[in-house]
Amino acid sequence: MRLFRSEEHVRRAYSQPGETFPVEQLWRLALGWYGDRLAPDWQPGGPAGLRAVLGEVGLTGPFWRLAG
């Protein structure tokens, strides 16, 4: 993952940049993905749980599909 100032900078760096999204969305993803990892009763969510986290922050296209 790389952070860029704008989509213009991404286009200059990569001819086919893949997926881009704003840092605010990255923050929401991080909270959903890691927010409860230190809880004593934490259990891995498995592929379904991870897909749910991606969907909650709007990362739903083909790029974000997880196997399993």
Q: How does pLDDT run across 9-68, given as a tens digit for each residue?
A: 888 898 877 888 899 999 999 999 999 999 999 998 888 899 999 999 999 988 888 876
Domain boundaries, the chain: 22-68
Q: How far apart are CA 25 and CA 30, in angstroms?
A: 9
Q: How far apart are CA 32 and CA 59, in angstroms?
A: 12
pTM beyond 0.95: the answer is no
The two three-digit tokens of residue 15, written as one number? 């001819």
The contacts of residue 21 (CB under 8 Å, 6+ apart) are 58, 59
